[in-house]
Amino acid sequence: MDDASSGRALMGDIAARAGVSLATVDRVLNRRKGVKERTRQQVLDAALAVGYLRASDLRSFGAGDARIVFLLPSGSNPYLRDLGDHLRARVAARGDGAPRIRCFFIEGFNAPALAGAIRRSAAWADGIAFFAIDHPEVREAVAEVAARGIRLVTVVSDLAHADCDAYIGHENRSVGRTAGLLIGRFAAGRQGSVALVAGSRHYRAHSEREAGFLSIQEEMFPHLRLVGMREGHDDSAQNYRHTIALLEQNPDLVGIYNVGGSSGGVARALAERGRQDVTFIGHGLTRDTRSALVEGVMDAVFHTDPEALTDRAIAAIRDPGKPVPPMKLEIVFRENIPRGR
């Protein structure tokens, strides 16, 4: 039997052993896209078992040059701008064996725009990491792209019932409960109202944080009156206006939890009105939240390190199938602000 015939026979053995078609075996062995990671691994295991590949050959099928797209919401959210800057620096410093990364900013809170970006990115990418909007159009795009073998990872905010490989971020309900616990303790038995500001409930992270906050307030601090959540779309100017309105409408305000980003607007309103007595908790250690902590306008910041976030997202795309635990919650106070951020 000549080498070509021998190769075809072995490919048939691989297909039978892996339970896939010859076309799928051909796509995997020629490193073409369109095969789910689990199927790809089954084919490689079968190729090793029948002697088509050696163990040393498997290294060449690694994801060192994987193509990964990050999709982030555009807008004035300082934390997301910092995350984008980190990704651009990572692209510029790419070394041998590192994945090829592209980062695009998509109009925030626009589900059709995100769904379209996911579909477009699938034409180039082996994996897509995205800040999810929990919407039917996004879930449909995810299902289509996942069926083509593209790996999908949600970051910061997850999707319900979606065909994604992993979620990278905090367990957001417990984050919300932690915020509620801090505000309740800092209130130290005072009567009054507490308020929440969010980007949008279309972000599952924001709605889960809200639910966690409300649950612990009802359990432990029923004497605090809850004010309906305001949506500021992670915009500093909108958050400023919402905070001014909250202060005017609720003179007994004792706490604000900014569930989303752009906390600078909330801090500016509190500082202008001289309301450092209001406990203020938000997300993302950025230039504006550092200043608010130092000045005593802000009490605590829940932070997710951009480098750790991107490292985990890339690892989940390059090595799917491994369990991905929730990220640990980092709480920053004025007295423990880390350097260099």
Q: At what angle do helices 264-272 and 236-249 cross, to 10 degrees?
A: 40
Q: What is the pLDDT of residue 59?
A: 57
Residues spanned by CATH 3.40.50.2300 within the chain? 67-169+309-314, 172-303
Q: What is the pLDDT of residue 1?
A: 39
Q: Determine whether 226 is exposed, middle or buried from the number of CB atoms within 10 Å of its CB (0-12, 13-18, 19+).
A: middle
Q: What is the pTM of this model?
A: 0.82
Q: What is the mean pLDDT of each run of 10 residues along the chain (341 residues)?
A: 53 90 88 76 86 71 74 92 91 78 93 97 93 95 92 94 90 98 95 95 94 96 94 96 97 97 97 97 96 97 94 88 86 92 60
Contact between residue 33 and residue 147 where contact means Cβ atoms under 8 Å apart: no
Q: 3-state DSSP call for residue 74? A: coil
Q: What is the DSSP string of 186-235?
A: HHTT--EEEEEEES-TTSHHHHHHHHHHHHHHHHH-TTEEEPPPEE-TT-
Q: Which CATH topology does 67-169+309-314 take? A: Rossmann fold (3.40.50)
Q: How far is the CA of 6 from the CAs of 12, 26, 44, 60, in angstroms? A: 10, 15, 18, 22
According to the CATH classification, is domain 172-303 in 1.10.3720.10? no
Residues spanned by CATH 1.10.260.40 within the chain? 3-61
Q: What is the pLDDT of residue 190?
A: 92
Six token digits for residue 202: 């279309």
DSSP state of 50: T
Spatial distance between the Cα atoms of 292 and 270, rounded to a whole number of angstroms? 10
Q: What is the pLDDT of residue 51?
A: 84
Query: What residues have CB less than 8 Å from 305, skipping those under 6 apart?
Result: 330
Note the CATH number of domain 3-61.
1.10.260.40
